[in-house]
Structure 1
Amino acid sequence: MRIGLDMMGGDFAPLEAVKGVKLYLDTVATDAHLVLIGDEAALKPLLSDAQLDQSKYSVVHSSQVIGMNEHPTKALKEKPQSSIGIGFHLLQNGKIDAFISAGNTGAMMVGTFYSIKAIDGIQRPTISTPVPREDGSFGLLLDVGINADCKPENLLQFAILGSLYSQHILKVNNPKVGLLNIGEEEGKGNLLAQATYPLLKDNPLLNFIGNVEGRDVLTDKADVIVCEGFTGNIVLKMAESIHEIAVRRKINDDYMNKFDFESYGGTPVLGVSQPVIIGHGISKGLAFKNMIALAQQMIESKLLDKVRESFVK
């Protein structure tokens, strides 16, 4: 198992990326080999200071970096030797089994779509976010931003992808799937919600429980909550603000702390043929460590094989 990590992506790279690598190697029992992609001159002293087991990683030099505000397509075309560009080249050619970056999100999405493609049968890949619940468990919300306008068939596919992720990564048996709506009754909502409901209800791959409302998002009513990315991103940003308010008000609460993105690291792009994980631009060591652990879990669980099987059916 070889996991590629963009060491130059993110506001605090490469230092925090190296801290994340150390946390992972020190705390996670694994046979994974980490492929660290970045400027060798910048990485060498940091890796030396970290005193890592050199058999557990290798460095692939990149001479360019895609900035956070650069145009994604243009940057990938003009900077083939960037850490993101090299990462996707390695992934596409089977040199690594997963790729992680907290760098330019747009470049990560463009690189994903143009290098490794979607799994056959999937119209649009999606991204999700874990939702902290008061009982200590996590639900899943998707899409949260890359598909602002959707068709009912897209939401059906998101539901299947989310259900598989919940089952095999979050370890939820027979996850309950809910459709985010403005009321519980069938027939509620806008045209998209009304047309999506029967598709979810009739699909044998789903344990569909019906509509769920905003007040249900943080409860255990549904394990997977489906919506288009416009609504999902608003919910995600509101949840992030809850943690920011708690920090500003110096509220130290175990449940509130679960809203900190560092606790789960990044989000996988679901529906593409290889594991790609996108981190927050302000990721620090713990987030990098958790992203690497998630990549390992996706590979070991053979999640993408299960997705392929479901969409063949």
Structure 2
Amino acid sequence: MVIGIDMMGGDYAPLEAVKGIKDYFNAVQSPATLLLIGNEEQVNPLLTEHQLTGTPVKVVHAQQVIDMHEHPTKALKEKQQSSIAIGFHLLASGKIDAFISAGNTGAMLVGALFSIKTLEGVIRPTISSIIPKTNGATGLLLDVGLNADCKPEQLNQFATMGSIYAQQILGINSPRVGLLNVGEEEGKGNLLAQATYPLLKENNKINFIGNIEGRDILIDKADVIVCEGFTGNVILKMAESLYDINPQNAAKDPYYSRFNFEIYGGTPVLGVAKPVIIGHGISGAMAFKNMIMVAEKMIRTDVLQQMGEALKG
């Protein structure tokens, strides 16, 4: 198992990535091999400083970096020697089994969509986010921004992929799938919600429980919550603010601390053939460690291939 890491992506690169790698090695007994893609002159001294020489890491030199403000498609095309472009080349050619970056989100999404094949039958890949529940459990929300506008068939696929991810990665047996709506009754909502409901109801690969409302998101009513990416991204950013705007509450109440994105690492792209995990631009060591651990689990469980089989059947 070989996991590729973009060492130059993110506001605190490459230091926080190196610290996260050290934390990962300290946390597991049989670590994966890590291929570190970045500027050797910056990465190698940090590996020495943090006593990572002799560990299962190898540095692949990348002389260019795609900055956060650059146009994703243009940058990937013009910066073939960037850490993100090299990472996707290695993933597409089978040199690595997963790719992680906290760099330019748009470039990561473009790379995932055009460098790595989508699973057979997938209309559009999706990205998800972990939602901490008040009872200590976790749920999954998708889409959270990749697909601002969706068709009912896409939401139906998101429900299937999200359900498999919740089973294999989050360890939820028979996850309950809810459609985010403005009311619980069948027939509620806009045209998209009304057309999606019967598809989810007929989907025998999921445990569909019907519509859920915004007030149900943080309680233990559904394990997988499906919506289009515009609504999902608004909810995601609001949830992140619960941790950011009042850190004092996080210290007093453990529940608020669970809104710290670093606990969950990054966002996997679901619907492509190989694991691609996108981290927040301000990711620190904890986020990098957890992104590596999520990638490792996705490889070990073969979760993406399970999604492909479910969508083909």
The 3-state SS of whatever aligns with 2:252 is coil
For each residue in 1:211-237, what CA deviation from the matched residue of structure 2 results, as whole angstroms up to 9, or x when unmatched?
A: 000010001100000000000001001
Alignment deviations for residues 63-101 of structure 1 (CA, whole Å, 9 cap, x no partner):
000000000011111110000000000000000000000
- Partner SS, residue 245 of structure 2: helix
User: Cα 1:250–1:270, aligned 2, differ >3 Å: closer, same or farther?
Assistant: closer
Whether the 8 Å contact between 1:161 and 1:271 is mirrored in structure 2 is: yes
Q: Say yes or no: does 1:66 pair with 2:54.
A: no
Q: Alpha carbons of 1:215 and 1:250: their partners in 2 closer, same or farther (altered >3 Å)?
A: closer
1:244 corresponds to which residue?
A: 244
Q: Give the aligned partner of residue 3 of structure 1.
A: 3
Where does residue 77 of structure 1 map in the other structure? 77
Amino acid in the other structure paired with 2:41: A
Aligned-pair distance for 1:311? 1.4
In the alignment, what sits opposite 1:89?
A: 89
* 1:169 pairs with 2:164: no
d(CA) in 1 for partners of 2:258 and 2:250? Answer: 15
CA distance in 2, matches of 1:270, 1:301: 14
Q: Distance in 2 between matches of 1:20 and 1:273?
A: 26
> In 1, distance between residues paired with 2:90 and 2:245?
40
2:305 match: secondary structure: helix
1:5-44 map, 5 Å = 5-44=5-44
Which residue identity does 1:228 align to in structure 2?
A: E
Measure, in 2, the Cα distance between the counterparts of 1:251 and 1:286. Answer: 18
Structure 1 length normalisation: TM-score? 0.98
1:106 corresponding residue in structure 2: 106
Partners of 1:196 and 1:157 in 2: CA distance: 11
Q: Aligned residue pairs: how many?
A: 313
Q: Does 1:145 align with 2:131?
A: no
Displacement after TM superposition at 1:247 (Å): 1.2
Aligned residue for 2:50?
50
Mean Cα deviation higher: 193-202 or 242-251 = 242-251
Distance apart, 1:117 and its partner CA = 2.1
Q: For structure 1, which runs of at least 5 residues remain unmatched after alignment?
A: none
Q: CA deviation at 1:52?
A: 1.6
* Uncovered stretches (5+) of structure 2, i.e. residues with no partner: none
Name the SS of the counterpart of 1:54 in structure 2.
Answer: coil
Deviation at 1:137, TM superposition (A): 1.4
Q: Is the 8 A contact 1:246 1:252 kept in 2?
A: no
Normalization by structure 2: what TM-score?
0.98
Provide the secondary structure at the position in 2 that maps to 1:45: helix
Q: How does 1:146-225 map to 2 (within 5 A)?
A: 146-225=146-225
Q: CA 1:179 to 1:78, structure 2 compared with 1: closer, same or farther past 3 Å?
A: same
CA contact (8 A) 1:20 1:285 kept: yes
AA matched with 2:307:
V
Aligned-partner Cα distance in 1 for 2:228–2:136: 26
Q: Distance in 2 between matches of 1:184 and 1:29?
A: 47
| Structure 1 pair 94–86 and aligned structure 2 pair: CA distance change class (3 A) | same
Measure, in 2, the Cα distance between the counterparts of 1:13 and 1:86. 17
Which residue in 1 is equivalent to 2:115?
Answer: 115
Does the 8 Å CA contact 1:169/1:297 hold for their aligned counterparts?
A: yes
Cα gap change, 1:156 to 1:250, in 2 (>3 Å): closer
Which stretches of structure 1, 4 residues or more, deviate above 4 A after TM superposition?
248-251
1:270 equivalenced with 2:275 (yes/no) = no
8 Å CA contact 2:145, 2:233 repeated in 1: yes
- Which amino acid in 1 is paired with 2:63? S
Which residue does 1:254 correspond to in 2? 254
| Structure 1 contact 11–281 (Cα < 8 Å) conserved | yes
CA contact under 8 A between 2:243 and 2:250: conserved in structure 1? no
- Aligned equivalent of 2:125: 125
Report deviation, 1:249.
Answer: 6.1
CA distance in 2, matches of 1:262, 1:249: 17
